Amino acid sequence: MAEIIVPELGESISEGTITKWFVKEGDSVNQGDVLLELETDKVNIEISADSSGVVSRIAKGDGEVVLVGEAIGSIGASAGGAAPAQAAAPAAAPAQPTAPAAAAQAAAPAAVQAPVAASAASVNASPAVRKLAREQGIDLTQAQSQAGRISSGDVLSSQGGQASAPAAPAAAAPTAQPQAVSGKPVERKRMSRRRATIANRLVEAQRTAAMLTTFNEVDMTAILDLRKRRKQSFFEKNDVNLGFMSFFTKAVVGALKAFPLLNAEIDGEDIVVKKFYDIGIAVSAKEGLVVPVVREADRLSFAEIEKSIGELASKARSNTLALSDLSGGSFTITNGGVFGSLLSTPILNTPQVGILGMHKIQIRPVAINDTEMANRPMMYIALSYDHRIVDGSEAVRFLVTVKNLLEDPEALLLEG
């Protein structure tokens, strides 16, 4: 008998949520077959079988929270061993609270579910469902289930009836209709684990960092002219388009070399200055913003940066990023301009102390000198920084350096 164990998920990740089992009890599997998908704070991970055999037990179902190192099922050596394992599953599963309750549920789970639910601790419900009940103020002993196990739908269905008729919640909400506020229809749904993590990290960044933002603008004429002249030959040689991100990445690296405190982080009372340039590129994915990292950007050519960003963005949108793709960045670039943003204040990607925001290129009249005006393609750029270790003058000069390098692309070959 081989246990299905939740593997190490990466630094700072101690738990995950089962998104979907791809097998069921009694299925035959080979070593390396994907058994289930696990959602963590950062990425979704597929857990594969370590040995061949028959899935004899599934102890944790879809939507349940599991811990690193926890046994969530088992694989038997043969089909013959599946039946005894399944018969013992109700007594052995971690979700069953007591031996008497487990024995009763094994005999007649649907019939004895209500008597067993003498207290919230004895209710047959997953940790995720218990958490939802606490958040909604629901008494699990009053939640009704037709399947012998309380689900999130059962909790939400009983929400409306407990205030007025706690003894008969099933009659109060027989169907899972949307909750209403002042008679108007609404839809309630749980945050995904990743969205909740993003929310917590953004609030933490604003709470723990002395965050300020400084702004400047860049005349993109030189870069647009260079891309126009070199676009075709660049693609023919490198099989990738010459975009804006490689210019900004190179400009950021050049500015970080001149102002190293923007490439640092705070560790207690220490300042850790990083001597490498792993640049995070914010990418909008279905489950929310993720920040994969372009490693050693200072050593990469324009083409290598464009290819790396393209590959990471593709993996982000297909939900195939690995934990190694997301960890260890030293500075972040985010581009709200692709969505039409003209100006914004980006939030720090902690523990980093700097993030550069790009915005939409807008044709605007610009004073060339005392007597001449011209329409130029202009972009506002924003630098948010942690004022605990970065002074305002340093932040301003960093952003001016980025601006100067972008307006003189040839300088990127020397400084970036």
Phi and psi, residue 304, nearest 5°: -65, -35
Rounded CA-CA distance 306/224 in Å is: 16
Q: Which helix (H) or strand (E) holds 324?
A: helix 323-326
Phi and psi, residue 325, nearest 5°: -75, -20
219, 298, 387, 408: the catalytic one is 387
225, 239, 391, 408: the catalytic one is 391
Cα-atom radius of gyration of the chain, to the nearest Å?
Answer: 28
CA 363 to chain centre: 35
Q: Which helix (H) or strand (E) holds 19?
A: strand 15-21
| Closest-CA residue to 341 (of 258, 407, 257, 282) | 282
For 400, how many CA atoms within 13 A lie in the half-sphere containing its CB?
6
Residues 7 and 68: beta-carbon distance below 8 Å = yes
Rounded CA-CA distance 381/402 in Å is: 9
Is 387 annotated in the active site? yes
Three-state SS at 21: strand
DSSP letters for 260-305: GGGGEEEETTEEEE-SS--EEE-EEETTEEE--EETTGGG--HHHH
Residues 87 and 14: beta-carbon distance below 8 Å = no
Rounded CA-CA distance 58/49 in Å is: 13
Rounded CA-CA distance 169/157 in Å is: 8
DSSP letters for 346-415: PPP-TT-SEEEEE--EEEEEEE-SSS-EEEEEEEEEEEEEETTTS-HHHHHHHHHHHHHHHHSGGGHHHH
Amino acid residing at 245: M
Return left, alpha or beta for 319; rule: phi > 0 is left, psi -120 to 50 is alpha, else beta: left
Catalytic residue positions, numbered: 387, 391
